[in-house]
Amino acid sequence: AAPTRATATAVCLVTLLLEHHDDLFLHSTHHATFAVNADEDSHVLVNATGDVLIKRLLSPVLQDRDFARIFFLTYTAFITSDELLDRLQREYEQHGDGARLWHVKVRTRVLDALKTLVDERRSSLRDSAHCVSVVTALVSAASADDVLMGTEARAKRAVAYLQGEYLRAAAGGGGGASLGGGGGTDTVRRRSSTGTGVTSPRNFSHLASKAIWTKYTAADVARELTLIDFDLFTRIPPEECLQRAFMRREHAPHFFAMTDRFNEVSEWVVAEIVSRDSVSERAQFIGRFIEIADRCRRMCNFNTAFAVLAGLMGSAVSRLKLTWAKVPLKMRKIFQRVARLFDVGHNHRKYREVLRDSKPPIVPYIGLISKFLYAVDDNNPDTMPHRDHPDITVVNFAKLRMTANLVTELQSYQIDSYTFVRIAELRAYLLAPPVVNSSDGHARSLQIEPRDVTAPTPRAANI
């Protein structure tokens, strides 16, 4: 009988084990620590030297997709991209002269790893001259390797991708896939620390006459806000979530664009409300923003929902007792429901439960993503002495796994897109809405409702 594919694979694995028994097991267990995963009845890598991690990645036998996912998302914690490229080239060259199965499989693994690397990090490697040089050299070597090209379909696919996608895009000056694929060409203006738009109380009457968004329904506004936020969210690459890059604007421009947008929407809410001289008109606008926040919540756009809520709960608006007393009870109940979603109690348990049960498309709250990423980074060391070899420093792979899981969750929300139809006029307004900084907003709030007002303020959840 002809051998089955499973039989052929088993024979291949046995051959590899016999050829490189010492190399395989030395690099898979030496200077590495494993823990037992009771739930899955398996061993989980806890820490290892950087050399062992790379050897494990390239091992033809130890093919672990979850390990590879974590590695490519977080490798910059222990090695630079240029150093990893050099290591891949060196590993290929060291195994480049032999036709033995092990050497062929290692060369295939190197090409496959290179393909994954340039795909995962295309935003930072697309214009890297060093990356282009390494890819060009390895593609040239592989293309001339009759043994490799004649026996390894995976290597052929990797070479075809590197030639057709990466090198062509690099030669075209970065004409490859855009970051995140959000599909929009608009950008959100960068805010200054003092805000833009309205800058003093005397400008508020002018603002009140410019609110073209009011002719649209709350659903229209919520949909457009959601499309804008989702476009920004899908542009956040994984590297901006690593090693506290999200705390530095120069290292995380897309992450900061989204946090800037959060603040801009909150300040817009304040500006629109406090610019109204009439109590009843202010109450009407509060009601409209409550409805917009609730619509965003129902669309699973939690980021904009919280941004609108933050504007309503800021001191400039929340202190307007006469105004809140005029907001219909129905709207106040909706306000309380949305506010409870973002209660910080039990480490934001309510929000996390709702997020877990929500179906895509989703725009998660960006502030909590950065909070969890920071907590993982702050509470776990990058490296540590090896348990059995204290003189050897190992990479804390358990920390990398936690970080990678958070980034993978973020990436899962970037896949499914909203299909709302854009409204050009409304979008143009919402991309650059009038805003007010906190000091001017509060000054205007005191002007329209002095401190001696005694009307009751509706209770709100602790955000």
pLDDT, one tens digit per residue, over 290-339 is 999 999 999 999 999 999 999 999 999 999 999 999 999 999 999 999 99
Q: Which residues of 436-459 are buried (b: 16+ CB within 10 A; e: fewer)?
A: bbeebbbebbeebbeeeeeeeebe
Nearest to 115 by CA among 87, 138, 148, 99: 138
Are 422 and 224 contacting, i.e. CB atoms less than 8 angstroms apart? yes
SS3 129: helix
- Quick one: average pLDDT of 26-44? 59
H-type helices in 342-450, by residue range? 345-357, 366-379, 397-413, 424-431, 438-448
pLDDT band at 195 (very low <50, low <70, confident <90, very high): very low
For residue 184, the model assigns a pLDDT of 45
pLDDT band at 163 (very low <50, low <70, confident <90, very high): very high
For residue 244, the model assigns a pLDDT of 93
Q: Which residues of 316-354 are buried (b: 16+ CB within 10 A; e: fewer)?
A: bbbbbeebbebbeeebbebbeebbebbeeeeebeebeee
H-type helices in 275-328, by residue range? 279-298, 302-313, 315-318, 321-326
- Quick one: average pLDDT of 164-190? 57
Q: Cα-flanking dihedrals φ and ψ of residue 35, to 5°?
A: -125, 155
pLDDT band at 386 (very low <50, low <70, confident <90, very high): confident
Pick 142 or 30 by higher pLDDT: 142
What is the pTM for the complete model shown? 0.84
Pick 176 or 213 by higher pLDDT: 213
Amino acid code (one letter) for 414: Q
For residue 445, the model assigns a pLDDT of 96
pLDDT band at 453 (very low <50, low <70, confident <90, very high): low
For residue 185, the model assigns a pLDDT of 44
Q: What's the first-to-final CA gap in the chain, in angstroms?
A: 69
Q: Which of 93-102, 227-236, 340-349 is the least confident region?
A: 93-102
Pairing outcome for strands 393-396 and 435-436: unpaired
- Residue 198 scores a pLDDT above 80: no
Q: Which residues of 388-417 are buried (b: 16+ CB within 10 A; e: fewer)?
A: eeeeebbbbbbbbbbbbebbeebbebbeee
Arithmetic mean of pLDDT over the chain: 85
Please tell me the distance from the alpha carbon of residue 223 to that of residue 296, in angstroms, as a whole number: 7
Amino acid code (one letter) for 319: R
For residue 454, the model assigns a pLDDT of 64
For residue 179, the model assigns a pLDDT of 32
Extract the tokens encoding 210.
């410019």
